[in-house]
Amino acid sequence: MTTNPPVYIPRTGSLADRVLDYFRQCPDEELSQADVAAKFDAQRSSVGSCLKPTVDAGLLAWGHNSELEYVYTLPGKPAARSAVTPAATRISLADALGNSEDLGRAMATAAAKHTPARGRTKLPPSALDFSTLQVDHGMPLTGKSHGTAGTSKWAPLFAKLTEPDTSVEFPATWKSAVAAQATKLNVAHKKAGNPTEYKVRITEPGKARIWRLA
């Protein structure tokens, strides 16, 4: 007799439960593991294992978006593509032993074929020229397109947003790092009872924008 496996239901109040509740309220959002850790006050090293059963059960999708960033989304969202290891990058020990007398050379060849997933862009402080950025008033917050906060190297960018309803456009390559800092600031402000809130979006190819909403 065939029996169906039990339906996975995250424990109430668990990280998985809170993340799913967030996506129920914000179904078009996407969160990296760093975003989840900052937004839900969790250890980044444990985010993947905590959310894996939720992904395995099909309640969340884990893959890369149009910027090749690995993120969580609701299943079926076009921004998320499954994280799959190409067959060309795999090599078994038996194949290595059977096809080459030099196992080390075979393993080096396999490693050369593997292209690591693109991570967050790391920019040295010297590469960030905030003086050229323009502060805009009244720019409407857009949806997604194709696609404590202590002192950090991004502080000069956030310092430009001195009042609500202002925004700043910046290169899309900064988006992940700026969004992570915005999430940290939002969490810190909420805990402190400060209404200040930031949102970051990709607005067009090569361009992103941060809004101060409050």
pLDDT at 10: 87
- The position carrying tokens 């090749």 is 68
Rg, the chain, Cα only: 21
Say whether domain 1-85+94-119 belongs to CATH 1.10.357.10: no
Average pLDDT, the chain: 75
Residues 186, 192, 196: CA angle, nearest 5 degrees? 40
Enumerate the domain spans of the chain. Answer: 1-85+94-119, 125-212
Q: pLDDT tier at 25 (50, 70, 90 boundaries)?
A: confident
140 versus 9: which is more confidently predicted? 9
Q: Which of 33-47, 63-77, 96-110 has the highest mean pLDDT?
A: 33-47
Residue 104: how many CA atoms within 13 Å on its side-chain side? 0
Query: In what order do the strands lie in the sheet containing 135-137?
Result: 135-137, 166-171, 207-212, 198-204
- Whether 42 has a pLDDT exceeding 50, the answer reads yes
- The position carrying tokens 């010297």 is 126
